[in-house]
């Protein structure tokens, strides 16, 4: 069964259940006496756009490069800090919309005045006796349930976030028809003890059924927001008091809520009212059916199931994770983890929404870690690595649409900072597409590659969809990114074209002069990204049959980029020079971008580089690497690409044991959603690896998962693939042509089959 399962209330945010419809997210705690529903709306950010570009950046660029080429690293970094850091270190951050509180009057702890042995008075609490409590999040339907008994009465609650209805719903009933007595309220504040600020302008009740929470963030050009709550009940009395809705002696209660901001609507409250007004207890069943049907359109687009010898569904999810930490195997939990990642993507990234950020759409902090923004030196890209291949192409579009917001900002940054034409972005962006450097940290701030990496998603989407109209629409962004690097790059002493000043994300090197530094010229990852960008550009102009003056120059430039180098430890060099590094076990393994997500290092075509990549990984791990959730997920993908099945599986076990919270959310720490998506992508990469010219089946399947099936996997050559395997051997493969005419598949014994199909045709291949 695809259930996340608890037998107790959430004691903290990291044990609550996430629900979402792409725009609206909520964490449901399942508390018996006082339920908390923490609510997010994806466009609630801390303010309007802020132009933060340092006006002195371009004036000192050549001097910084000169210092770096001469090895005067610390002088270069000091000058870069003064001239290139943004005038303000931080762009806008993602913030919560509010909290909804449901107070169950008859289930609260009773407080009575009592006296101790010496006769002194004190308040004695006696909580309602709760039995048979269980809390379930059904991933097949995207519906959560809470069941428990108080006395002889069994209580049922159910909740989900509907994309078609644009609202979330929370229903309450008692099986024996027991009276329901509730108080519903809303707040927007820091819930930590001793914090006393409300971050909203007003909260009011209206018409004995609505609660409105309204406000704005960030001053004059900030974002106005509204959260609407509507309470429907039957069989009792319902009225308002202050800013609360009171329900007495009802038989059923339905609480509906939604949110909107001025980012999308001039009148957020009116928008909320329109979407809440048509909901009622009578239409609840139809709205639920509509929600499940909509959700399953995406969830069933592809499936992956490993057969399990032992069914452990009777254990709670925390109990199953505990078994993993004790060294046991749980293939059913791997299935659950994989499905949960797809659930999270469907819930946090839908057509017209903003992209899933560092925490998807779920965040309770007004100052969240790393701003819960779009960190684009790997994290947000990782959120979408599994989208295209699992048939969720439409859910990839919010990221690509955000590139359109970034494009004009990035052109301004290229012109203001670097005095060149083109488009660039550094290692973060926000709701407004801010492309200026973020933070005041030399190890990450000066890295103008974020926009280029995101542009690689343009061609990736085309590979899977073969949509020339889309490619034409996004060509100007791709071209401007290429234009930036054609203007920005310089030649080194070997005549090779390099980037700089830049860095290998967040890592520190040590020079032969015993200087340490982050800024450098031509770090390996930069060159790998540029090579990928230029290659995609050349393929795009050919597909679109464009005559572009840039084309010949790009062809020449790509031939004169530095080649990948193997260093003194047998590793892929991270920098142009074979430097030592300060933290050998660093979480970023940026030089292996060429292995994944790119294909510049391939086990079947570049065996020496593949060997060096494995050495790089081993050296990182021997020195404590892979200690964050997303980093561990990336390592799974690396080992899968190297066909090191047992190492891939070992790191999957470690991801579950060391970097997964009780509710299966990824733990950086703290919670960060990229590891969920990267981990699931790594699981799929063990089963199917698609290089467009060839698709490998079971290239990294571990012995612990010998039997299973996968369906609905999309390939870059335009096919849908369904496969079953047993005993670690492919039994049969069905391929269906959607766009393609030819596909080459290779099984686990490296037996190759070339299949030709007409569009819409299916063929089944059986391996003996």
DSSP string, 129-185: -EEEEEEEEETTTTEEEEEEEETTEEEEEEEEEETTTTEEEEEEEETT---EEEEEE
Stretches where the chain sits below pLDDT 70 are 1, 126
Rg (CA), the chain: 27
DSSP codes joined into one string, 407-451: HHHHHHHHHHHHS-SS----SEE-TT---S--SS-TTTSS-TTHH
CATH of 1-43+93-104+135-299, one of 3.40.50.2020, 2.120.10.70, 3.40.50.300, 2.70.98.50: 2.70.98.50
Please state, as a whole number, how many other Cβ atoms lie within 10 Å of the Cβ of residue 253. 25
DSSP summary character for residue 572:
B
Within 175-268, strands assigned E span 180-187, 202-206, 210-217, 223-234, 237-241, 244-250, 252-261
Q: CATH 2.70.98.50 occupies which residues in the chain?
A: 1-43+93-104+135-299
Q: CATH 1.50.10.10 occupies which residues in the chain?
A: 54-86+370-593
CATH number of 54-86+370-593: 1.50.10.10
* Predicted local distance difference test score (pLDDT) of residue 195: 81
Task: Mention every residue, 6+ apart, whose C-beta is less than 8 A from residue 328.
Answer: none
Nearest to 137 by CA among 21, 4, 291: 4
* Predicted local distance difference test score (pLDDT) of residue 220: 78
Contact 168, 288 (CB under 8 A): no
DSSP summary character for residue 714:
E
* Predicted local distance difference test score (pLDDT) of residue 194: 83
CATH class (in words) of the domain with range 686-767: mainly beta
* Predicted local distance difference test score (pLDDT) of residue 1: 66
* Predicted local distance difference test score (pLDDT) of residue 23: 98
How far is the CA of 51 from the CAs of 413, 429, 454, 630, in angstroms? 10, 13, 21, 31
- Distance (Å, whole) CA 287 – CA 282: 10
Contact 301, 390 (CB under 8 A): yes
Q: CATH 2.60.40.1180 occupies which residues in the chain?
A: 686-767
Within 512-593, strands assigned E span 516-517, 580-581
pLDDT in tens, 251-288: 999 999 999 999 999 999 999 999 999 999 999 999 99
pLDDT in tens, 345-354: 999 999 999 9
Please state, as a whole number, how many other Cβ atoms lie within 10 Å of the Cβ of residue 611. 16
* Predicted local distance difference test score (pLDDT) of residue 512: 83
Contact 684, 596 (CB under 8 A): no
Per the listing, tokens 């199909």 go with 757
């Amino acid at each position: 069964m695809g259930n996340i399962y608890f037998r107790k209330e959430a004691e903290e945010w990291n044990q609550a259940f996430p629900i979402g419809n792409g725009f609206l997210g909520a964490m449901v705690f399942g508390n018996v006496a006082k339920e908390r529903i923490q609510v997010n709306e994806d466009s609630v950010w801390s303010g309007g756009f802020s132009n933060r570009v340092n006006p002195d950046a371009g004036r000192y660029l050549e001097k910084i490069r000169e210092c770096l080429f001469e090895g005067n690293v610390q002088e270069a970094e000091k000058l870069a800090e003064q001239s290139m850091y943004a005038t303000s270190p931080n762009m806008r951050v993602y913030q919560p919309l509010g909290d909804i509180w449901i107070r169950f009057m008859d289930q609260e702890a009773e407080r009575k005045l009592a006296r101790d042995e010496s006769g002194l008075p004190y308040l004695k609490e006696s909580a309602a006796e709760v039995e048979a409590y269980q809390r379930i999040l059904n991933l097949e339907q995207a519906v959560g349930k809470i069941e428990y008994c108080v006395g002889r009465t069994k209580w049922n609650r159910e909740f989900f976030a509907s994309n078609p209805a644009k609202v979330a719903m929370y229903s309450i009933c008692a099986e024996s028809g027991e009276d329901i007595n509730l108080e519903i309220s809303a707040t927007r504040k820091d819930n930590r003890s001793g914090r006393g600020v409300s971050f909203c302008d007003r909260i009011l009740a209206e018409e004995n059924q609505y609660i409105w929470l309204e406000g704005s963030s960030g001053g004059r050009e900030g974002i106005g927001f509204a959260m609407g709550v509507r309470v429907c009940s039957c069989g009792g009395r319902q009225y308002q008091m202050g800013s609360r809705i009171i329900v007495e002696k009802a038989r059923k209660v339905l609480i509906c809520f939604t949110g909107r901001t001025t980012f999308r609507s001039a009148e957020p409250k009116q928008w909320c009212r329109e979407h809440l007004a048509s909901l009622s207890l009578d239409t609840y069943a139809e709205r639920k059916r509509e929600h499940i049907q909509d959700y399953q359109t995406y969830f069933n687009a592809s499936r992956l199931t490993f057969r399990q010898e032992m069914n452990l569904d009777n254990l709670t999810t925390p109990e199953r994770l505990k078994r993993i930490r004790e060294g046991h195997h749980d293939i059913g939990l791997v299935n659950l983890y994989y499905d949960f990642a797809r659930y999270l993507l469907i819930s946090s990234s839908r057509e017209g929404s903003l992209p899933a950020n560092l925490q998807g759409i779920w965040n309770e902090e007004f100052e969240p870690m790393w701003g819960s923004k779009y960190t684009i030196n790997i994290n947000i890209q990782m959120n979408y690595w599994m989208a295209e291949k699992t048939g969720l192409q439409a859910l990839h579009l919010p990221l690509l649409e955000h590139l359109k917001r970034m494009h004009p900002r990035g052109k301004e940054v290229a012109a203001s900072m670097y005095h060149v034409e083109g488009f660039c972005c550094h290692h973060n962006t926000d709701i407004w597409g801010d492309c200026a450097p973020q933070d005041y940290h030399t190890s990450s701030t000066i890295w103008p590659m974020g926009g280029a990496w995101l542009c690689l998603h343009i061609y990736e989407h085309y590979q899977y969809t073969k949509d020339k109209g889309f490619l034409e629409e996004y060509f100007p962004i791709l071209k401007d990114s290429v234009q930036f690097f054609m203007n920005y790059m310089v030649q080194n002493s070997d005549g090779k074209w390099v980037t700089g000043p830049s860095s290998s994300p967040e890592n520190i090197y040590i020079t032969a002069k015993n200087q340490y530094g982050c800024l450098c010229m031509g770090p390996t990852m930069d060159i790998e990204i540029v090579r990928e960008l230029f290659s995609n550009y050349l393929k795009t102009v050919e597909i679109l049959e464009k005559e572009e003056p840039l084309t010949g120059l790009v062809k020449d430039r790509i031939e004169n980029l530095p080649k990948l180098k193997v260093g003194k430890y047998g590793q892929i060099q991270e920098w142009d020079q074979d430097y030592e590094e300060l933290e050998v076990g660093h979480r970023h393994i940026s030089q292996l971008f060429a292995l994944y997500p790119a294909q510049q290092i391939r086990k079947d075509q570049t065996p020496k580089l593949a060997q060096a990549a494995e050495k790089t990984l081993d050296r990182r791990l021997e020195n404590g690497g892979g200690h964050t959730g997303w980093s561990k997920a990336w390592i799974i993908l690396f080992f899968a690409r190297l066909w090191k099945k047992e190492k891939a599986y070992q790191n999957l076990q470690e991801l579950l044991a060391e970097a997964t919270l009780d509710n299966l959310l990824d733990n950086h720490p703290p919670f960060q959603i990229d590891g969920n998506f990267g981990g699931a992508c790594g699981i799929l990469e063990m089963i199917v690896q698609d290089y467009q010219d060839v698709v490998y089946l079971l290239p990294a399947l571990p012995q612990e998962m010998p039997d299973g099936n996968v369906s609905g996997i999309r390939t870059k050559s335009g096919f849908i693939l369904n496969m079953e395997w047993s005993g670690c051997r492919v039994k049969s493969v069905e391929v269906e042509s959607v766009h393609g005419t030819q596909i080459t598949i290779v099984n686990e014994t490296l037996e190759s089959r070339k299949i030709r199909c007409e569009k819409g045709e299916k063929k089944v291949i059986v391996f003996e």
